[in-house]
Structure 1
Amino acid sequence: MEFYCHPRCSTCKKAQKWLDAHNISYTFKNLLETSPSKETWIQILSETDRTMKSFFNTSGNVYRENNLKEKVPSMSIEEAAEWLSSNGMVVKRPLAMDGNKLTVGYKENTYAQTWL
């Protein structure tokens, strides 16, 4: 599993603690340094039943400063993938994926249903 998060994010720390407590192995990826590639985001956004908005950190400064609230609803998958791959602060965190499954954000019951 690839586990993308911000090292100082309290929600990420809770998710990481949950993964550790359940002995689930993962590769920690710092979103400040790297986000999934544009190609990976295109694949995720093309195959998901989630809204595009659900992948964006809607409470973040970058989201607000760039007026993404107005832009995201009309974005193409390509445009969204460009934003998400180029700035990890735009990504809702934590993002956990293993090729078959994916979670965005952290809710204990969702993690239990998905990763156990």
Structure 2
Amino acid sequence: MIMLYTSPSCASCRKARAWLEENNLEYLEKNIFKEQLTEYDLKVILSLTENGTEEIISFRSQIFHDLTIDMENISLKEFIHIILENPGLIRRPILIDDKRLQIGFNEEDIRRFLPRDVRKLELKKLQEKLLINY
């Protein structure tokens, strides 16, 4: 099951939701301002990142600038506490399943959430189309 972490006024979140629905993918949506993130949520998200905490922080957010966080010198426990108190610090949307993570909406990258057989079929159709036009 895909988890979709969103916020109400996020255009990219609406795009991600629409894409999941268009592709008939089951998902659970969690509005991070209505349903508080948990320590477990954050640990799962962080476990799927390549660059750790830096990948999920919105460095351009006003909250980040107001808090003046020294990301280099805080513990994971402190980081999680800060995020739980300030959910607006994380980039959105966040999509995760048991082995994939996507932060933000990118129409090409989000395709990784399609089942493999669907992606193979689409690739085959594209290859056939290219051969016909060639």
Tell me which interval the TM-score lies in, with the shorter structure as reference length. 0.7 to 0.9
CA-CA distance at 1:77 after TM superposition:
2.0
User: Which residue pairs with 1:110 in the alignment?
Assistant: 109
User: Which residue pairs with 2:132 in the alignment?
Assistant: none
- 2-structure distance, mates of 1:34, 1:72: 25
How many residues are aligned here? Answer: 113
**Runs of 4+ in structure 1 over 4 Å off:** none
Give the alignment's Cα RMSD to 1 decimal.
1.9
Tell which structure's C-alpha radius of gyration is larger. Answer: 2
Inter-CA distance 53–35: structure 2 relative to 1 (3 Å threshold): farther
Inter-CA distance 46–28: structure 2 relative to 1 (3 Å threshold): closer
Q: TM-score, normalised by structure 1?
A: 0.82
User: Which residue pairs with 1:77 in the alignment?
Assistant: 76
Which amino acid letter does the alignment assign opposite residue 63 of structure 2? V
Identity %: 23
What's the CA shift string for 1:20-67, capped at 9, x where partnerless? 111111111111123431133234435532242110122222111111
Unaligned residue ranges in structure 1 (runs of 5+): none
Superposition pairs for residues 1-116 of structure 1, below 5 Å?
Answer: 1-46=2-47, 48-68=49-69, 71-112=70-111, 114-116=112-114
